[in-house]
Structure 1
Amino acid sequence: MINSYMTSKDEKESLRRAYYAVLRNLGLEDWFLIDFSVVGRDTIRSMNLENRGVDRVTDVLSFPSVEIKFPLSLCEYAGDIDPLTGKLFLGDILICRSKVREQAKEYGHSELREFVYLSVHGMLHLFGFDHMNKEDEEDMNAHQDAIMADLGINR
């Protein structure tokens, strides 16, 4: 389940589709809640500095609320389940609107494609994926590519 803020109707639907594609790719059911916001350059820059010590605008930031370990057993997260939704809150994702525009233009594809790609990237981070070394980066990229293909979205 996705809570989205400052997103268009098309973006909300694309987020929903991307979320379910990520779940399919990881072999998971809909047990999760993610808060997703589209923000401006100043907000994402200050969040990047505050949380990562990097003083620059970035395209996407993910803030996990729990550390996910596979194979996933919800019993391990029983204390983290939201009693109102019955879902495990994974965390927050912030995407910078102007970076979506810039990168879509740079890569020669639509803004919606870039938005979905960054959303998938952020969700994979919440599920514990990273790209800090070559092996992890290759694994994360393979998942991203498979998810984008599942969505029928290519470059």
Structure 2
Amino acid sequence: MELTIYDHSQGMLTEHQTALAEELLAQAAAKLALPANAELSLTLVRNPEMKELNAKYRGVDRATDVISFAINDEEDLTLPAELQAELPLDLGDLFISLDKVKEQALFLGHSADREFGFLLVHGFLHLNGYDHETPADEAAMFSLQEAILTAYGLTR
């Protein structure tokens, strides 16, 4: 899977967090058996930028922790199947507030790595069609999310 990381964090993003994101999202992609040509972008921001995004796209005038913008491209039926198979699978864009990572880790009493990992996997699963709108959907998504985090070593 190809991951493009954009740093809008004004110096908050560490090399450790970059490596964690690359490794954990690769593991999550493998767990979902995504094709090797899957790709997504991850943008790390601060609360003011996240507040703007949340207000513009969700109508909520406050910073949030993670926002996922899934790309649901329909197959181009004019292309031969063999050419379609060669095109990258663009999952979409993931935005995470590093301010919220820090705040929530302190509030919840676990490591910043655990919180960052949780938000990465949570957003990634949303990009892949998972949600938590119903109790059954929530149970499935959160179970998979916890399995990925535990396998990586980010336990509660």
TM-score bracket, normalised by the shorter chain, equals: 0.7 to 0.9
C-alpha separation between the residues in 2 aligned to 1:67 and 1:102? 35
Rg larger for:
2
Q: Distance in 1 between matches of 2:116 and 2:133?
A: 22
Name the structure 2 match of 1:12.
18
Q: 1:80/1:129 Cα in 2 relative to 1: closer, same or farther (>3 Å)?
A: farther
- Counterpart for residue 123 of structure 1: 124
**Equivalent residue, structure 2, for 1:92:** 93
Q: Does residue 1:52 correspond to 2:52, yes or no? A: no
Q: Is the 8 A contact 2:39 2:91 kept in 1?
A: yes
In 2, Cα distance between equivalents of 1:108 and 1:62: 25
Give SS of 1:56's match: coil
The one-letter code matched in structure 2 to 1:21 is Q
Whether 1:26 and 2:32 are equivalent positions in the alignment is yes
Partner residue of 1:72? none
Q: How does 1:69-80 map to 2 (within 5 A)?
A: 78=84
C-alpha distance in 1 between matches for 2:57 and 2:85: 25
Which consecutive unaligned segments of at least 5 residues does structure 1 have?
A: 69-74, 82-86
In structure 2, what is the Cα distance between the partners aligned to 1:110 and 1:53? 30
Q: Provide the rounded CA distance (Å) in 2 between the counterparts of 1:150 and 1:142.
A: 12
- The whole-number CA distance in structure 1 between the counterparts of 2:140 and 2:97 is 25
Q: For the residues of structure 2 that align with 1:12 and 1:63, how far apart are their CA atoms? A: 20
Letter in 1 for 2:60: V
TM-fit CA distance, 1:147? 0.2
RMSD between superposed Cα atoms in Å: 2.1
TM-score, normalised by the number of residues in structure 1: 0.84
Query: Identity of paired residues, percent?
Result: 34
Q: TM-score, normalization: structure 2? A: 0.83
1:64 aligns with 2:70: yes
Segments ≥4 residues shifted beyond 2 Å: 27-31, 77-81
